Amino acid sequence: MTALRAGALGALRGVAVPSYDRGAVTAGIVHVGVGAFARSHLAVHVERLLEGGETAWGVCGLGTRPADRRTSEVLQAQDGLYALLVKHPDGRLDAQVVGALVDHLHAPDDPEAAVERLAATSTRLVTLTITEGGYQVDPVSGRFTPVEPAVLLDLQPGAAPSTVFGLVVEALVRRRARGVPPFAVVPLDNVAHNGAVAREALSGFAARRDPALGAWVRAEVAFPSSMVDRITPRTAPEDVALLADRFGVEDGAPVVCEPYLQ
């Protein structure tokens, strides 16, 4: 049995592992909400880029909820590595170690570090999997209508940012003040016209903080829409055992998915 760590990759057999130099990878993407889907989808696409030599597109994960602490701790302990177990309809199994996650921050522990990572010039994309309800956009009016207490608290003057809205908007404020172009915000949630929804959410939050700031976010920040798909069920204890028994990998946060990827 091999515990998943950077120094143990050479001991794995029958498992695809990163062939690129992970030490040369920098984080060009900050992803908010590193759950199983982000690791079976976004990170896999990024892994292909890294294998092709595009080393400026690593992913820094960012958790905003207290419940995200465990993911952060496990990934940090495993040097950002995790196993992806692909289950084929005919019963075949493929296992791959994904190395695209080069860092993971837990915002409740250090909001300032989270904002500065978002504000860094190296950050070119901020991607989101925060669920449909996480955008706080009313489905009838189509307007940003915050009801979550943490979001309302983020709108109070002088509040330390804690939600995706507070963190991302504060980072945009700092980039604008420093003369750094804004990053693009790319939602990966299964929401119709998700780019437009994300624009309404973040510009609406910014407008409640300062109307001129809201207008700037709406006009200057890119919010492309995306279509994403890959069945990624919750990892069960049996999947962890299967990974260990079949491939000899001990992983505290493996991901299981189907072979289809859009």
DSSP string, 201-238: HHHHHHHHH-HHHHHHHHHHS-----------PPPPHH
Residue 123's CATH number? 3.40.50.720
Residue 90 lies in a domain: no
Q: What is the pTM of this model?
A: 0.96
DSSP designation for 241: H
- Angle formed at CA 83 by CA 72 and CA 101, multiple of 5 degrees: 45
Which is nearest to 205 in space by CA: 172, 249, 254?
Answer: 172
What pLDDT is stored for residue 54 in this prediction?
97
Q: What is the mean pLDDT of residues 168-188?
A: 98
For residue range 16-32, what is the model confidence (pLDDT) as tens digits?
Answer: 999 999 999 999 999 99
Q: Say whether 134 sits in a helix, a strand or coil.
A: helix
pLDDT number for residue 67: 85
Confidence of residue 175 (pLDDT cuts 50, 70, 90): very high
- Per DSSP (E only), the strands in the chain are 2-3, 27-32, 58-63, 82-87, 93-98, 101-106, 125-128, 184-187, 249-250, 255-257
Residue 53's pLDDT band (cuts 50, 70, 90): very high
Mean pLDDT of 230-251: 96
pLDDT, average across residues 59-83: 94
Mean pLDDT of 200-219: 98
Give the lowest-confidence range in 67-76, 107-116, 220-229, 248-257.
67-76
Q: What are phi and psi of 52, to 5 degrees?
A: -90, 5
The answer to whether 249 touches 95, Cβ cutoff 8 Å, is yes
Region 75-104: mean pLDDT is 96
What residues make up the domain containing 67? Answer: 19-80+101-230
pLDDT at 1: 83
Chain mean pLDDT for the chain: 96
Is 140 within the bounds of a domain? yes
Q: Is residue 85 part of a domain?
A: no
DSSP helix/strand/coil, 118? helix
Question: What is the predicted pLDDT for the residue at 15?
Answer: 96
Domain assignment of residue 142, yes or no:
yes
Q: Is 37 helix (H, G, I), strand (E, B) or coil?
A: helix
**How many distinct structural domains can be found in the chain?**
1
Distance CA 161, CA 67 (A): 17
Q: Is residue 91 one of the residues assigned to a domain?
A: no
